Structure 1
Amino acid sequence: MKRKFKFSGRYAGYSLQGLQKDLLAGLIVAVITIPLGMAFAIASGVKPEYGIYTSIIGGILIALLGGSKFQIGGPTGAFVPILFGVVMVYGYENLLIAGFLAGIILLLMGIFKFGSLIKFIPKPVTIGFTSGIAVIIFVSQIANFLGLKNVENHETFFSNLKEIIIHIPTINLYSVLTAIICLITILLTPKFAPKIPGPIIGLLLSTVVASLFFPNQVATIGSTFGEIPNTLPNFRIPEITFERIQQMIVPAFIIAVLGSIESLLSAVVADGMTTSKHNSNRELMGQGIANIITPLFGGIPATGAIARTATNIKNGAVSPFSGIFSGLIVLIILMLFAPYASNIPLASMAPILMVVAWNMSERHVFYLLLKTRSSDSLVLVVTFLLTVFVNLTVAVEVGLLLAGLLLIKRMSESVVTVKGLPNPKHKNEKIDANMVSSIHDCPQISIYTIEGPLFFGAAQTFEQTILNAINFKPKVLLLRMGKVPFMDTTGEAYLTSIVKNFSKNGIVLISGINPQPKKLMTNTGLATLIGEDQFFEHTGDAINSALQYLNRDTCLGCKHFAFRECTALSKGTHVIEEK
């Protein structure tokens, strides 16, 4: 009996009609991918064909093994500054090693389920370095746009900007004209022919114009990098040594972090455009495997490309086959038409990258964050400036550190310790800070409401607030901890100090404590020091217990009347059961 083959998982319900849609979407994406792949490779300081190799191998593997049905993988603008820096300092061979190591890091991130941790990277940091990368890419293409001669590439932004300024007299008007034709075509195509990829039309039109009307007057891919081969390179394992691993581990880590951020952002965008739900850990593993294998064929690091993924979905893709088809079509085009690509002017490539930089700059979000004039604005500006004027590695490290420090500062300021008393006008005599005054306060019972996490950034302030406020040595200290969601060992240590200091002459009671702080106090022995019978679920029960510890001689004639029992206690007529 013959069994009918059925697709399952991400391919459930797949049909011939779906295959046709994926093939069309893959074709359109492939046409867009080729100029972008070459452009990103050139901007990264390597030969253009390496970007095509990445689009083929990385694109197929990411689609096949990743966690998003619609993800299109390949070289992206986010990698340009870090890859360019690696090539300038260490060379192309070490770039392959950095990409290989980044792939291993990504694979491990997926295996150990780090996919969900990427969301904890603050938005000002991602917007800051993304905008900085956009500026670097845009400026790096000015020389090709203007056709400047003898411009040397440097690692730093200032040095490259200086090179452009120095060589402005060598401007080539033919290059400018070629670049303008390509730029105008890219900008106008979406308005008049939205379904046709603007970059490929701009590239073809400007190349044809340059070849027909002023041949040999502008630098081309062939004249600068040599002819593009029409085959994939042979499989080759880079020479990996311990010394090289030490050299490249930091760049590899930055590549892995950037790759994970961009790929997961792209997957989230795809989820928003469709009814699908990506698997973030599988996505990282797919990205990792792709980046381990791609360098073995000479490719540069790859990640999920947001714009190409969105184009894939808009053109009807229904499964990962579209990404696989895209890579295969790029391979076919490489084999058939690679020699013709050598005639593409560099001036035609420049506008493509400039438009990419403009689109990825996140200028609207940048402006909104800047307008808040908050700590986020500071993180944004610092990350942006360090990306542009120092390097991406330092920018990400400092941005994350600064964001973390500012978060700790904000959290420490959010911890509030307020003295209060029951308000008889409220239901259940709710504790109210406004009830405490110089003529309405209990000399023997101090009630403090603590709000916010008791952690290392706020614990010392909490301790000082309590100790400074109880110099008059009340008989009972009641701490209301129902609004303390979390306490770390530093917070526990300061609370222990308060308990030990106060217990010499009085009693400490705790009400409404949450499970995590209570468990920590039990594990450290603080709960035993306080006494398990001194913990109460409700403040009212804790107050009733506190009244049992009062010195009734002190209560005689007291006019504060902090509690409803105080009238009788002041007259000496209230009976309290001895504890």
Structure 2
Amino acid sequence: MSQKWFFTGRYKGYSFQSFQKDLISGVVVGIIAIPLGMAFAIASGVKPEYGIYTTIIAGILISLLGGSKFQIGGPTGAFIPVLFGVVATYGYENLLIAGFMAGIILFLMGVFRLGSLIKFIPRPVTIGFTSGIAVIIFVGQIPNFLGLSNVEKHELFLDNMHEIVLHMGEINRYSVLTAIICLAVLLLTPRFFPKIPGSLIALIVSTGIATIFYPTQVATIGSTYGDIPSNLPSFQVPDISYEKIVQLLRPAFVIAILGAIESLLSAVVADGMTNSKHNSNRELVGQGIANIVTPLFGGIPATGAIARTATNIKTGATSPISGVVHGMVVLLVLLLFAPFASKIPLASMAPILMVVAWNMSERRVFYHVLQTKSEDSIVLLVTFLLTVFVNLTVAVEVGLILAVIIFTKRMGDIIVTEKVLPNPANKHEKVESHVVTDSHDCPQISIYNVEGPLFFGAAQAFEQSIMSTINYRPKILLLRLGRVPFMDTTGEARLSSIVKDFSKHGIVVISGIKSQPKKVIMKTGLYDFVGEKHFFEHTGDAINYALTQLNTNKCLGCRHFAFKECTALSGTTDNFIEKKTVYQHSN
């Protein structure tokens, strides 16, 4: 990676005062990240230290190599149901391989500049799966909150609910007390001590009380998962085979897409808070490298963390150095205080994750979209329900398919094809549809105004609307395509069908065609079939040409007077014309 890529604009004007701010921000965010890293790892079905390793390695690499100056990376709540599903189905070793593959996918997305494509994922889909994930996380922490023992974790939500109900008679009052103390401190700390990380204070207070008064009555990290080692694991390349790559390709792709969405959303939030601009492709490259390296040290997949990034900015961060400091702080805590972390009760971790779930639930936006009672509400509900009751992969796939279908229908409804004529009451004689009547319409020239994208979802309606109204076989068909911004091959095929059918007995003239549709019909040969002389930039020039192609014998005695030239062509007296005009204006 070049120096230009590494340093561009990220440390411009950096000073010792900037470093001081980054140091403070990094320490604060690092302290916040410690309990979250362990909690996310436990909820994902792996040992808590793997969340710590991820926070350190991925956090540092994402800050150094990503596209946002303020991004804080690490394990996040959004990954929990996906990672737990992979661990439950394939095991921890294969999770490392899936994370490694996801890193490669993210890296390639950034290299091929696909970062901007993430913005095309509809908001109802992201709200739906985010809210669904929040429900899964919240419900998943009920056993730890209540101190239920021997609760088997399942991949499906309903199975987990059934398991909780079965063990409801085993509630541990000490665990409930510990969880309530932790939750109370967690909620009250921001109100009375806004600058102190609430999650850390809540852990310290609830762990201290449990350790002093009832040390053997609650399950702890150490008693459940073993002591947390006070060092990083050794470098180890996962055992990758072709069969495993094929087997894990789908979960790896889901991890990559979810990671891309989360990291770029976080970067956008950071932009809004700092009036800066991130580089989406560079962000994906940084995320990719971090997720390639982290599994080599036993870490789980990571992405940009919105809450930690926002905290980083609020505490005064000025550059990626704060993210590096955050990772170093977590490493220092791991080396010095790992034995103490083993004494943390699982009941103390539960409220932290529940609050995370509550904050990420998008409940206000969820309700707002439901209130619209639109197609977006359907996409939102379907994505949400599938996330909760099936899995995130199916939810996103179905949500996107539904969104595409609805978008296609909406775009198809936008296409407007209407018959028009010049309005004599307008001094510029603009063509308008309301002037076309049974008594005011040219029998030889039909002018159609086409407005909207001419693509597969609208092409059939476009063809039918024209073909059904030219049964009387006019001589000239003038198509105004100035308001057709886009045409695909299906739209071209329908247009070609109209042109070729009409050309058997008449002339097709086209005005105002835009560059993209023009390129399409030039590639297919339709442009040459119509003939260059039949294309005009302005409708007025096209009408003038069409008038020269009329059968003047049919104009004699015509009473429609669709064009100003009709007076001379029809051979009608001026007195009749005057009466006709007065009649038209009076009606």
Structure 1 residue ranges (4+ consecutive) displaced by more than 6 angstroms after TM superposition: none
Q: Counterparts in 2 of 1:557-572, with a 5 A limit?
A: 557-571=557-571
Give the SS at the match of 1:496: helix
Q: CA RMSD in A?
A: 1.2
Q: Cα 1:527–1:8, aligned 2, differ >3 Å: closer, same or farther?
A: closer
Counterpart for residue 517 of structure 1:
517
What is the distance in 1 between the residues matched to 2:70 and 2:479?
54
Matched, 1:87 2:87: yes
**TM superposition shift of 1:517:** 1.1
State whether residues 445 and 476 of structure 1, in contact with CA within 8 Å, keep that contact through their aligned partners in structure 2: yes
Give the SS at the match of 2:13: coil
Give the SS at the match of 1:417: strand
**TM superposition shift of 1:276:** 2.7
What is the distance in 1 between the residues matched to 2:498 and 2:146?
70
State whether residues 552 and 572 of structure 1, in contact with CA within 8 Å, keep that contact through their aligned partners in structure 2: no
**TM superposition shift of 1:404:** 0.9
Give the SS at the match of 2:554: helix
Matched, 1:247 2:258: no
Q: Counterparts in 2 of 1:426-465, with a 5 A limit?
A: 426-465=426-465
What is the distance in 2 between the residues matched to 1:533 and 1:88?
68
Unaligned segments of structure 1, at least 5 residues: 1-6, 575-579
Counterpart for residue 577 of structure 1:
none
Instruction: Look up the equivalent residue of 2:269 and give its one-letter code.
Output: V
What is the distance in 2 between the residues matched to 1:15 and 1:442?
77
Counterpart for residue 354 of structure 2:
354
What is the distance in 2 between the residues matched to 1:304 and 1:560?
68
What is the distance in 2 between the residues matched to 1:242 and 1:518?
46
What is the distance in 2 between the residues matched to 1:18 and 1:443?
77
Matched, 1:472 2:461: no
Matched, 1:391 2:410: no
Counterpart for residue 218 of structure 2:
218
Give the SS at the match of 1:429: coil
**TM superposition shift of 1:15:** 1.6
Instruction: Look up the equivalent residue of 2:531 and give its one-letter code.
Output: G
What is the distance in 2 between the residues matched to 1:16 and 1:549?
80
**TM superposition shift of 1:30:** 0.9
Instruction: Look up the equivalent residue of 1:460 and give its one-letter code.
Output: Q
> Relative to structure 2, which stretch is displaced further, 409-418 or 211-220?
211-220
Instruction: Look up the equivalent residue of 2:182 and give its one-letter code.
Output: C
What is the distance in 1 between the residues matched to 2:518 and 2:89?
54
Counterpart for residue 335 of structure 1:
335
Instruction: Look up the equivalent residue of 1:53 and give its one-letter code.
Output: Y
What is the distance in 2 between the residues matched to 1:126 and 1:150?
34
Counterpart for residue 495 of structure 2:
495
State whether residues 58 and 302 of structure 1, in contact with CA within 8 Å, keep that contact through their aligned partners in structure 2: yes
What is the distance in 1 between the residues matched to 2:8 and 2:152?
53
What is the distance in 2 between the residues matched to 1:436 and 1:385?
51
Matched, 1:406 2:403: no
Give the SS at the match of 1:299: coil
Counterpart for residue 232 of structure 2:
232
Q: Cα 1:470–1:8, aligned 2, differ >3 Å: closer, same or farther?
A: closer
> Relative to structure 2, which stretch is displaced further, 519-528 or 77-86?
519-528
Q: Cα 1:130–1:214, aligned 2, differ >3 Å: closer, same or farther?
A: same
Counterpart for residue 4 of structure 2:
none
Matched, 1:123 2:123: yes
Counterpart for residue 273 of structure 1:
273
What is the distance in 2 between the residues matched to 1:572 and 1:158?
82
Counterpart for residue 167 of structure 1:
167
Counterpart for residue 148 of structure 2:
148
Instruction: Look up the equivalent residue of 1:24 and give its one-letter code.
Output: I
> Relative to structure 2, which stretch is displaced further, 435-444 or 564-573?
564-573
What is the distance in 1 between the residues matched to 2:19 and 2:512?
60
Give the SS at the match of 1:428: coil
Normalised by the size of structure 1, how large is the TM-score? Answer: 0.97
**Deviations 1:145-164 (CA, angstroms, capped at 9, x unpaired):** 01111100001001001101
Give the SS at the match of 1:510: strand
Q: Counterparts in 2 of 1:24-423, with a 5 A limit?
A: 24-423=24-423
Give the SS at the match of 2:373: coil
Instruction: Look up the equivalent residue of 2:121 and give its one-letter code.
Output: I
What is the distance in 2 between the residues matched to 1:482 and 1:9?
43
**TM superposition shift of 1:572:** 6.5
Counterpart for residue 3 of structure 1:
none
**Deviations 1:64-94 (CA, angstroms, capped at 9, x unpaired):** 1111111111000010010000001100000
What is the distance in 1 between the residues matched to 2:111 and 2:51?
28
Normalised by the size of structure 2, how large is the TM-score? Answer: 0.95
Give the SS at the match of 1:434: coil
State whether residues 447 and 480 of structure 1, in contact with CA within 8 Å, keep that contact through their aligned partners in structure 2: yes
What is the distance in 2 between the residues matched to 1:395 and 1:8?
39
> Relative to structure 2, which stretch is displaced further, 12-21 or 438-447?
12-21
Give the SS at the match of 1:11: coil
What is the distance in 1 between the residues matched to 2:329 and 2:497?
70
> Relative to structure 2, which stretch is displaced further, 46-55 or 431-440?
431-440
Counterpart for residue 3 of structure 2:
none
What is the distance in 2 between the residues matched to 1:355 and 1:518?
55
**TM superposition shift of 1:573:** 8.8
Instruction: Look up the equivalent residue of 1:510 and give its one-letter code.
Output: I
Counterpart for residue 507 of structure 1:
507
Unaligned segments of structure 2, at least 5 residues: 1-6, 575-587
State whether residues 521 and 527 of structure 1, in contact with CA within 8 Å, keep that contact through their aligned partners in structure 2: yes
